[in-house]
């Protein structure tokens, strides 16, 4: 009886050992990636933070712009003098279109572009939009570096951004900051676009350069530093035109040569009227003589609450609606004058710069 059971016990032991070995081997194979990551984690955590990859992707497409303009002679010297204006620009496509700030190239006699690979060439102005302070240039060179772009990308408050430009002609310089406001900063500087605010430094010569995220994708065109009531620069407050708006303006300038905007002819300002009427709107502080608003009977202290059947969610949105309306279009406006609710029809004109 004992002899007959020994083979069975030996075979059962062997089978259990094989199964246990297979289970252990399977666990080791399954845990190997986790163990590898666990071993590497301390090394990875000691690596310094770097934006070198983003800079390497974006910086070659940011160019230096040298514009020459002539000023009139004075009483003491009637000979005109030549003034060099510094700026930066961003190569947007492989056919040579460059986005920059309009104030960099406005009213100049010649424009020279310097690429980071050492090439230099002249540029042609394709179009200028004073409202957004954007301009499109064109150069004719082959093998151009193009800034990385993502049309679906949206910036958020708190995003890390890098400003790339040529401040004071020192050479290409990178400054770093975070986004303080992704929009809503309208009319705070020479641009009247809905700007984004950040604290990446923009000095003279860096205007028109690229604002990119931590992966090197373009998020804005650098514009200027905020200035206080006395005209002094305020540290830590800088602005850029958001990429989506800049791309739209560029497309329009390339296709049509100008950006046509609607004109109503009113000045606006802050007022407690929103609390009085319990709804958002546009408080009129002034009306341009012989403007569409003047001809429609609008007056200072009127409070517009509806345009073309659309409730006004904010003054900025209402003005944007006017701006994007085709000239000669008739719009019905509902507004308050004191306690009286009134309506009028305006014929939108073309905004003249």
Active site residues: 103, 133, 207
Paired tokens of 42: 């301390």
Q: Are 215 and 202 in contact (CB under 8 A)?
A: no
Place of tokens 């496509």: 93
Paired tokens of 200: 């990446």
Place of tokens 């205007």: 207
- Give how far Cα 314 sits from Cα of 184, 212, 311, Å: 11, 29, 9
DSSP-H helix ranges across the chain: 2-45, 52-58, 102-105, 243-256, 273-277, 292-295, 315-323
Other beta carbons less than 10 A from residue 1's beta carbon: 4
Of the candidates 54, 117, 107, the one whose C-alpha atom is nearest the C-alpha of residue 83 is 107
Q: Are 284 and 342 in contact (CB under 8 A)?
A: no
Place of tokens 């949206």: 154
Paired tokens of 223: 């514009």
The 3-state DSSP class for residue 254 equals: helix
Of the candidates 343, 101, 81, 347, the one whose C-alpha atom is nearest the C-alpha of residue 210 is 101
Paired tokens of 199: 């604290």
Rounded to whole angstroms, the Cα distance separating 99 from 170 reads: 21
Q: Are 268 and 314 in contact (CB under 8 A)?
A: no
Paired tokens of 284: 């009129």
Dihedral of alpha carbons 15, 18, 21, 26, sign: negative
The alpha carbon of 169 is separated from its chain's Cα centroid by a whole number of angstroms, namely 23
Dihedral of alpha carbons 276, 277, 278, 284, sign: negative
């Amino acid at each position: 009886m004992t002899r007959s059971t020994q083979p069975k016990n030996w075979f059962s032991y062997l089978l259990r050992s094989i199964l246990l070995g297979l289970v252990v081997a399977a666990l080791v194979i399954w845990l190997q990636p986790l163990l590898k990551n666990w071993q590497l984690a301390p090394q990875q955590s000691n690596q310094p933070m770097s934006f070198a990859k983003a800079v390497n992707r974006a910086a070659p497409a940011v160019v230096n712009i040298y514009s020459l303009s002539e000023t009139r002679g004075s009483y003491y010297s009637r000979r005109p003098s030549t003034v060099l204006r510094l700026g930066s620009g961003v190569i947007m496509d492989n056919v040579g279109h460059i986005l920059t700030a309009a104030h960099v190239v406005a009213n100049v006699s010649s424009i020279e572009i310097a690429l980071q690979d050492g090439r230099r060439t002249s540029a042609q102005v394709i179009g200028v939009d004073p409202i957004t302070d954007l301009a499109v240039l064109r150069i004719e060179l082959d093998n151009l570096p193009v800034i990385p772009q993502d049309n679906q990308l949206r910036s958020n408050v708190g995003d890390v951004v890098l400003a790339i430009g040529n401040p004071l002609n020192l050479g290409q310089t990178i400054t770093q900051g975070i986004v303080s406001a992704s929009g809503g900063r309208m009319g705070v500087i020479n641009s009247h676009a809905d700007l984004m605010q950040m604290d990446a430094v923009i000095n003279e010569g860096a205007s028109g350069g690229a604002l990119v995220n931590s992966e090197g994708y373009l998020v804005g065109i650098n514009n200027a530093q905020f200035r206080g009531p006395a005209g002094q620069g305020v540290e830590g407050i800088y602005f850029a035109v958001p990429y989506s708006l800049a791309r739209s303006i560029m497309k329009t300038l390339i296709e049509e040569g100008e950006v046509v905007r609607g004109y109503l002819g009113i000045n606006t300002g802050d007022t407690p009227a929103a609390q009085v009427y319990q709804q958002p709107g546009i408080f009129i502080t002034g009306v341009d003589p012989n403007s569409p608003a003047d001809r429609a009977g609008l007056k200072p202290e009127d409070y517009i609450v509806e345009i073309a059947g659309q409730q006004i969610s904010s003054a900025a949105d209402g003005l944007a609606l006017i701006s994007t309306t085709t000239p000669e279009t008739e719009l019905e406006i509902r507004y308050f004058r004191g306690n009286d609710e009134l309506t009028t029809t305006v014929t939108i004109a073309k905004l003249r710069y």
